[in-house]
Chains A and B, each alone.
Chain A
């Protein structure tokens, strides 16, 4: 083979170059998708509306609701960007642009996950600030709160990426599938009713939902009684996140058969 003169071939595709490519994909997604009405409706308005619809008329102190509200906002916002952007780009064939370039599927999936992560991070901090500033929520363990928000976003953004690879190529169908997954998970993860108050079957199922561990860490962080404990919750979020990431990459690999 003749020595290739392309500048790029001379560069070794190391970790830094790979990270730069992933970041470029994430920044492009931020520019294009963060202010799309569908993202704002499903990622921000939807969870807040559901939460208040469920809690209205219940005789509970507002401050006790914030772990659930933050978790719900985090859950919906971080799982919305990739399931919208990936099928949207596959439908308009701009996704192929990413595949034309020497970008590995891992770098691509990381890029998509970062854009979901950042959106979820920003959106979940909003109810936290509202709780602290206006409703007297207090942060008891900042490390638990930080773990809940960071690991929760990192893990659940992979759920969004995974769902986007399973569904069809139209955003509408993928969003439909996504809500089929999200809505039942809401009720078995301790968002509205703490896990220790669920019936036995509910407590068993809650182990299979990564959202349960997010809620658990947030409850600890905001000074409420937790169920799993921070170590189990953190480890489970890491395990769920890695497993869903690996599955997403495997699913993407199957696209070029």
Chain B
């Protein structure tokens, strides 16, 4: 990906950042981040609220200028070549900022005009997008009257008017119900399969896991890991766990006894189940069964799930905090 010696983007890079930094007065929002997104890739930017995800996207759209470093799209600098960059990227912000006072169709034709499409060309593209996004029946409806899910679909359609090669999605399913979220994810997958490169920010681990080819984990403005979801999970293999559901609720004394079983580094309740974190599930399982025998507890179910992306995220961010506090 990035040539660490020269700091240059790889030839296949669609989106790149080099030592990108943003201060808001004394607040460091983005802290010297570098990454590359390859053409056709679905790249996730995963982090909690306030981690610097939206600021990064805003830098790519030149809505805010970097304090240090640079951001580029297809080799074009986002500050120096801002209009050329905007010609090849689309953006869907977290808030679907469609014009509520005009119809869905007018929103699309107006956006087309902003990208230099003529009237006939704009109308034809708008009709195509209304059909592609299942918005035909809402064409004449004012955008303000649409549901959140439909507004988000319209916002994505507006971002596609000029057939962008890169699409920035900021928290695409935030605030949407399950059906609308699923519909948005399907749209993202479809467009990605047609060759659109995606840069997607989310704090939803499952969404990142389902959609992304690679994920950058960002916290406090710093990228703390970039890899495929699978490799990130492997990297946190010590965060493996045993998930057990008992036939009755353990007493408080039994609960503290569970935490004291050899090899268990921590416990967590997950509904009726207990999650027992361990680096060595096999030996810990043996100790667990001895403990259950002793306390007359029976297991309704026992699983040894691999670490979830959430486990990875918690591990990585806690490691970062430890490093930060030790410095």
Contact = CB atoms under 8 A, between A and B. Distances in A.
B261 interface: no
Nearest to A255: B63
B88 A4 contact: yes
B163 A7 contact: yes
Interface residues of A, number: 33
Interface size class of B (residues with CB under 8 A): 35 or more
Contact of A103 (B98, B114, B164): B114
B99 A32 contact: yes
Q: Decide if the interface of chain A is mainly helix, strand, loop or mixed.
A: helix
B297 interface: no
A61 interface: no
A94 B97 contact: yes
Nearest to B14: A2
16 contacts: A2-B74, A4-B87, A6-B88, A7-B162, A8-B117, A9-B88, A11-B116, A13-B83, A21-B116, A23-B113, A28-B106, A31-B106, A99-B63, A100-B91, A101-B114, A102-B84
B44 interface: no
Interface string A90-108: 0011101111111110000
Contacts of B98: 94, 97
A21 B113 contact: yes
A173 to B, nearest CB: 21
Contact of B65 (A13, A104, A256): A256
Interface in A181-232: none
B116 A8 contact: yes
A5 B99 contact: no
B296 to A, nearest CB: 60
Interface of B: 39, 61-65, 74-76, 83-84, 86-88, 90-91, 93, 95, 97-102, 106, 110-111, 113-118, 158-159, 162-165
A58 interface: no
A129 interface: no
B74 to A, nearest CB: 5
A1 interface: yes
Interface string A147-158: 000000000000
B91 A4 contact: no
Nearest to A17: B116
Contact of A256 (B64, B83, B101): B64
Nearest to A2: B74
4 nearest A-B pairs in the assembled complex, by CB-CB distance = A24-B113, A101-B114, A1-B75, A102-B86
Contact of B110 (A11, A24, A102): A24
A4 B74 contact: yes
A10 to B, nearest CB: 9
Interface string A114-129: 0000000000000000
Given A1-B74, A5-B165, A20-B116, A97 B97 contact: yes
Contact of B86 (A7, A24, A92, A101): A101
A20 B119 CA distance: 10
Contacts of A4: 74, 87-88, 165
B83 A104 contact: yes
Interface string A1-44: 11011111101010001001101110010011000000000000
A222 B84 CA distance: 50
A12 to B, nearest CB: 10
Contact of B116 (A1, A13, A94): A13
B97 A93 contact: yes
A101 B84 contact: no
Contacts of A28: 99, 102, 106, 110
B110 A8 contact: no
